[in-house]
């Protein structure tokens, strides 16, 4: 027979677990379809639930270490630094779809974090085009009207998880067309 004091603790623990499960289920239900995916972080491969970015304005970018556009990491970091406190995130997804990314996750991380001082979230390499594209990129391509044509293609996502703009590689993250649109999206609540 279980003593009453332990029964109360078990009942309290069970009630807390049920409440936590309900909260998690509600947050998953509130997660936009676009973000209802998971991806491992670049630095440690800890799997991240992309729903954690729901309610924020996002710039999602497929990156590569050996591309002529690789210096855009600096602009992406500047953009992140400028708007992060207002509910903005840059999400970087390395990809070797265009044969310009290292197969060594550690080398990619070193380039991002040590060379360019990236502080925004970076994820492990994924495919961004075709039938084997990561589900996030399948959604981005569908909603944005096109898959990435090259490295550093940018998708701008509003707070409700909708793709509102797609920018090709040669458009800098600091281009006034991009920053003006981000300002408008951040002003919306």
Task: Please report the pLDDT score of residue 46 as a whole number.
Answer: 95
Task: Please report the pLDDT score of residue 4 as a whole number.
Answer: 59
Task: Please report the pLDDT score of residue 137 as a whole number.
Answer: 97
**Do strands 88-94 and 57-63 pair parallel, antiparallel, or not at all (unpaired)?**
parallel
Q: What is the pLDDT along the chain (189 residues), one digit of tens a residue?
A: 555 554 554 454 444 444 433 334 444 558 999 999 999 999 999 999 999 999 999 999 999 999 999 999 999 999 999 999 999 999 999 999 999 999 999 999 999 999 999 999 999 999 999 999 999 999 999 999 999 999 999 999 999 999 999 999 999 999 999 999 999 999 997
Task: Please report the pLDDT score of residue 8 as a whole number.
Answer: 55
In sequence order, what DSSP letters do the residues of 111-171 get, joined into one string?
Answer: IIIIIS---S-BB-----SSTTS-HHHHHHHHHHSS--SSTT-EEEE-TTS-EEEEE-TTS
Task: Please report the pLDDT score of residue 30 as a whole number.
Answer: 87
Q: What are phi and psi of 40, to 5 degrees?
A: -75, 140
Active site residues: 67
Q: What is the pTM of this model?
A: 0.84
């Amino acid at each position: 027979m279980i003593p009453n004091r332990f029964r109360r603790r078990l009942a309290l623990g069970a009630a807390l677990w049920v409440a936590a499960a309900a909260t998690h289920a509600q947050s998953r239900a509130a997660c936009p379809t676009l973000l209802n995916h998971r991806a491992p972080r670049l630095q440690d491969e800890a799997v991240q639930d992309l729903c954690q970015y729901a309610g924020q304005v996002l710039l999602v970018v497929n990156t590569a270490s050996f591309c002529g556009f690789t210096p855009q990491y600096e602009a992406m970091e500047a953009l992140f630094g400028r708007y992060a406190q207002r509910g903005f995130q840059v999400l970087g997804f390395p990809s070797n779809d265009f044969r310009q990314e290292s197969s060594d996750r550690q080398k990619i991380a070193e380039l991002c974090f040590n060379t360019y001082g990236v502080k925004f979230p970076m994820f492990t390499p994924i495919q961004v085009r075709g039938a084997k594209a990561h589900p996030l990129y399948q959604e981005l391509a569908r909603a944005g009207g096109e898959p990435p044509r090259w490295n550093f293609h940018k998708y701008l996502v509003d707070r409700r998880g909708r793709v509102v703009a797609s920018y090709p590689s040669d458009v800098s993250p600091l281009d006034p067309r991009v920053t003006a649109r981000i300002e408008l999206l951040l002003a919306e609540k």
